[in-house]
């Protein structure tokens, strides 16, 4: 299992940055290799990407989503991956975006690319393109302010953010061993 951990500061308020990140179908505009993301339900996404010259598809489930704080996911079939993206206000209208991605490279080409640091660079470049995308717009293309709480029995869907919405502190450490997001 490989883990990539990287951060970037974005010159946009946390609410705007978070709102844009919830627009998963926009990801191909700034994520290299991502061909299409389809949001099937509030919790489920279908991904199509070109990874090391191979077309791959997988479904992912959002396991935790707290407005302006974090979104955590895991694959439920196809390419084995999981991760968390955290949003932190860092003064003024700046936001730190921290992304942790855990994945299992498949085959010789992916394993070699991982060993040579290609995945790390790809993730860093994706965050740079996200920064350019949201800073150049100055506003989000849409937003979903609902919560997905992994501790509920209603399938994880919490309340919509607003009056009476629940919030909680959450870090990558809450999802498993220090620095790791469990894939199962």
pLDDT of residue 177: 33
pLDDT of residue 179: 40
pLDDT of residue 158: 52
What are the beta bridge partners of residue 87? 97
Number of DSSP helices (H) and strands (E) in the chain, helices first: 3, 9
Distance of alpha carbon 101 from alpha carbon 119, whole angstroms: 10
Which SS3 state, helix, strand or coil, does residue 156 take?
Answer: coil
User: Which tens digit of pLDDT belongs to each residue from 49-107?
Assistant: 987 788 989 999 999 999 999 999 999 998 788 999 999 999 889 999 999 999 876 77
Q: What backbone phi and psi angles, to 5 degrees, belong to 113?
A: -60, -40
User: Which tens digit of pLDDT belongs to each residue from 102-158?
Assistant: 987 677 766 666 566 677 888 999 999 999 999 999 899 999 999 998 876 455 555
Contact 10, 90 (CB under 8 A): no
pLDDT of residue 72: 97
Q: Record the pTM.
A: 0.79
> Domains in the chain, start-ordered, CATH in brackets?
2-159 (3.30.530.20)
pLDDT of residue 124: 94
Q: How confident is the model at residue 26 (pLDDT cuts 50, 70, 90)?
A: very high
Distance of alpha carbon 82 from alpha carbon 59, whole angstroms: 11
Contact 34, 46 (CB under 8 A): no
Contact 13, 5 (CB under 8 A): no
pLDDT of residue 114: 58
pLDDT of residue 178: 34
pLDDT of residue 150: 84
How far, rounded to the nearest angstrom, does the alpha carbon of residue 73 sit from its chain's CA centroid? 7
């Amino acid at each position: 299992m490989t883990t990539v951990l990287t951060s970037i500061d974005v010159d946009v308020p946390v609410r705007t940055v978070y709102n844009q990140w919830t627009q998963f179908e926009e990801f191909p505009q700034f994520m290299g290799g991502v061909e299409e993301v389809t949001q099937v339900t509030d919790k489920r996404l279908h991904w199509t990407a070109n990874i090391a010259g191979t077309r791959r598809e997988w479904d992912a489930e959002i396991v935790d989503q707290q407005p302006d704080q974090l979104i955590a996911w895991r694959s439920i079939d196809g390419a084995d991956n999981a991760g968390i993206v955290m949003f932190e206000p860092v003064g003024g209208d700046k936001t730190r975006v921290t992304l942790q991605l855990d994945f299992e490279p498949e085959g010789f080409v992916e394993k070699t690319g991982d060993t040579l640091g290609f995945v790390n660079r790809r993730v860093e470049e994706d965050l740079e393109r996200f920064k350019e995308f949201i800073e150049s717009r100055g506003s989000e293309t849409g937003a979903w302010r609902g919560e997905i709480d992994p501790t509920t029995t209603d399938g994880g869907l919490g309340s919509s953010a607003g009056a009476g919405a629940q919030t909680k502190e959450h870090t990558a450490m809450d999802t498993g061993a220090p620095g790791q997001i469990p894939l199962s």
